[in-house]
Amino acid sequence: MSDELSGKVALVTGAARGIGQASAIRTARAGANVVVSDILEEEGGQVVEMIKEAGGAATFVRADLSHEEEISGLINKITSDLHRLDGAFNNAGVLQHGKSLHELATEEWEKVINIDLTGVFLCMKYEIMAMLDRGVGGAIVNTASALGQVAITGASEYIAAKHGVLGITRAAAAEYGAKGIRVNAILPGIVETVARQTG
């Protein structure tokens, strides 16, 4: 444990597994009070227990990022219960395997866009509102992908979403940097997570 982020409150979405889980644990080790959010309640609760057993502070809040009211409710709960939001890692996302563009059903396209892009937009919207209300700035990191800059076959919906995440990240960084809110993205390559294995 360290005190690098002592006194800070940080949200990590998609925190039950993989990159999100590792990030939530690392953020707690740096001293932040971490809000672990996911649709997987049991696994999210286990992450909270791991953090607490290591001497950190964490709570679990379930949220389905395909629904705006759940995202606004998540941020409202954080600001109501913990009275601040200093940082957020918008990591939740979905993968689908291997269909060419002409084979995609509209609902398959919308599922990925709604969570991987619109979900990031909505998280940022309510996170930024909370940070502006406090007036002391904050930091937001979005999970994009190496596929946000290149293309492969059989992943058009995912590639479109991740290109969009990079675009909205750049736009928000330009708009809110002067207000003390830093917005960045990470672009991981292939990471062997449960989400990648199961789609």
> Which helix (H) or strand (E) element contains residue 145?
none
d(CA 12, CA 34): 7
Alpha helices in 15-67 (DSSP H): 18-29, 41-53
Query: Which SS3 state, helix, strand or coil, does residue 16 take?
Result: coil
Residue 184 DSSP code? E
| Vertex 126 angle, CA 122 and 127, to 5° | 110
126 is catalytic: no
- Given the residues 158, 165, 183, 185, select the one marked as catalytic: 158
Q: Which of 15, 16, 18, 14 is nearest to 197 (CA)?
A: 18
What sign results for the dihedral spanned by CA atoms 48, 199, 155, 151?
positive
Give, in order, the Cα–Cα distances in Å from 54 to each of 15, 31, 62.
Answer: 17, 11, 22
> Catalytic site residues?
158
